[in-house]
Structure 1
Amino acid sequence: MSEAVRTYPSATGLMRRGSLADEVAIYIRHLVLTGVLRPGERIDQEAVSEALDVSRSPIREAVVVLGQEGLLTLSRNRGAFVADITPGDIAEHYELFGAVSGRAAALAAEQLSDAEIAELSAIHRRFERGSHTEMSTANHDFHRLINRGAPRRTRWLLALLERSVPADYYEFSAGVYADAVADHAAILAAIADRDPDGARRAMEHHLRQGGAAAAEALRRQGFWKDDA
């Protein structure tokens, strides 16, 4: 019996500038990290092709990249499957993300100008008071400004870590929002005080909290079958 053709959801709002392979990778990551595709499920390249209106070539490129990231497992004869990601994997990823982001925050405490710190404070106020869409933008702007002064290879690694588990795939619940506001305030205060160690610790704590929230969001979506 032939396998039924899977239909994947629209990519509206997800596509960004970049190569077709980059856009396909963003789309598949979103399907995985929002629970549309579960651990062990095969990636239906025909469904991806139809959803994005792209040929198989960029899909194959994207699948290889996602395999290197550990999000997919690849089989020469059977195709690509969602990897068996565990809550521990999510926590470990965010721990690493926090370590690198903490280094950038420590540098920001030493290097940001008074004008840039004032800009960071204004971004934080937008984050506190904005709608969900405005919060997502302010969150991105907050971290981008902190990371701006980091060495080029550090910024490259941060971008890779952020792409691998996107920060915007779960909603800001009330508790997550309150924690994030408090975390941003602590990071801002340490940077304004020119306290590199404090900025590093605050950022590491913030990303560790983010990892816990991300794992919990996936659990609520039934990402892990044993929790369904």
Structure 2
Amino acid sequence: MSTHDVDPRLASGRRPYGNLKDEAASFLRDAIVSGALPPHSKIDQDQVADTLGISRAPVREALIELAQKGFVDAIPRRGAFVAAVTVEDIEDHYEVVALVSAMTAKRAVKRLTPAQIDELRRLDQEIAATTDVVRVRDLDRRFFHLIANAGRSPRLDTILRFLGGALQGSFYFDAPGWAPHEATYRQQMLGAIDAGDVLAAARISEEHVRRCATLSVDHLRSRGYWPDAA
């Protein structure tokens, strides 16, 4: 598939960004994970710039960033190509996230204030009463981030910022079954927090994130993301 196919598929979904490099990076990342730009395809910088109505400079900066995060392979004198994300890549990513999440969950159980715990319950109740999928996803992320923020440290902040941009969330949030999986996680975490059980909180967090990896891989397989896979 030519990168010229990006325009009709994705231009209508463009979102406003203050930073042109970030806009280009988000646009390309979405194109890659949606399959509009399949693995090994060459990225046409002029086409991307024309589609977004920007110059090539922020597109080049975006490609450098995406190459650092593993989305793009930059080959001297040939250009930038979409990197192939393997099953192992996804599993490795989520395994690291699982370990970090377990650390933050253990700390959060000890640090969460009564007001923050009430907010977690409120978010869970609001999610249960909401049918808007986008709203559910937003509230669910707020639930997860509230726990993560309570248990983080400056060093973990650095790790979490990198991990947050290293793999597109739509791998998981487009997968069937993510919503009930998240509901189970929230209920289990609230139980562990109420009991003050740091070991249970760590185990629940690890199992939750590893299940995210399984759902993501299964979903991508069902979409034919790895057409040569058995």
Q: Same fold (TM over 0.5)?
A: yes
Deviation at 1:225, TM superposition (A): 2.1
Q: 1:7–1:47: 8 Å Cα contact kept in structure 2?
A: no
Q: 2:90–2:217: 8 Å Cα contact kept in structure 1?
A: yes
Q: 2:3–2:37: 8 Å Cα contact kept in structure 1?
A: no
Q: Which residue of 1 aligns with 2:191?
A: 189
Q: 1:147–1:155: 8 Å Cα contact kept in structure 2?
A: no
SS in 1 for 2:36: coil
- After superposition, what is the alpha-carbon deviation per residue over 1:90-118, rounded to whole angstroms, capped at 9, x for unaligned? 01101111111221111111101011011
The code of the aligned residue for 1:176 comes to W
Return the TM-score normalized by structure 1. Answer: 0.89
Q: Name the structure, 1 or 2, with higher relative contact order (CA <8 Å, separation 6+).
A: 1
| Whole-angstrom CA distance in 2 between matches of 1:16 and 1:74 | 27
Unaligned residue ranges in structure 1 (runs of 5+): none
Deviation at 1:168, TM superposition (A): 3.5
Q: Which residue of 2 aligns with 1:121?
A: 121
Deviation at 1:227, TM superposition (A): 4.5
| Correspondence 1:39-54 to 2 at 5 A | 39-54=39-54
- After superposition, what is the alpha-carbon deviation per residue over 1:26-71, rounded to whole angstroms, capped at 9, x for unaligned? 2211111122222111112122112211111111111111111111
Q: Which residue of 2 aligns with 1:164?
A: 166
Q: Which residue of 1 aligns with 2:143?
A: 142
Q: Which residue of 1 aligns with 2:200?
A: 198
Would the alpha carbon gap of residues 145 and 215 (structure 1) be closer, same or farther in structure 2, given more than 3 Å must change?
Answer: same
Q: Which residue of 1 aligns with 2:30?
A: 30
Would the alpha carbon gap of residues 119 and 52 (structure 1) be closer, same or farther in structure 2, given more than 3 Å must change?
Answer: same
Q: 2:192–2:201: 8 Å Cα contact kept in structure 1?
A: yes
| Whole-angstrom CA distance in 1 between matches of 2:3 and 2:202 | 48
| Correspondence 1:7-156 to 2 at 5 A | 7-8=5-6, 9-11=9-11, 15=15, 17=17, 19-130=19-130, 131-149=132-150, 150-156=152-158
Would the alpha carbon gap of residues 11 and 215 (structure 1) be closer, same or farther in structure 2, given more than 3 Å must change?
Answer: farther
Q: Which residue of 1 aligns with 2:221?
A: 219
Q: 1:120–1:142: 8 Å Cα contact kept in structure 2?
A: yes
Q: 2:43–2:82: 8 Å Cα contact kept in structure 1?
A: yes
Unaligned residue ranges in structure 2 (runs of 5+): none
For these two proteins, the number of residue pairs brought into alignment is: 225
Instruction: Give the structure with the higher percent helix.
Output: 2
Q: Percent identity?
A: 30
How large is the Cα RMSD of the aligned pairs?
A: 2.2
Would the alpha carbon gap of residues 85 and 193 (structure 1) be closer, same or farther in structure 2, given more than 3 Å must change?
Answer: same
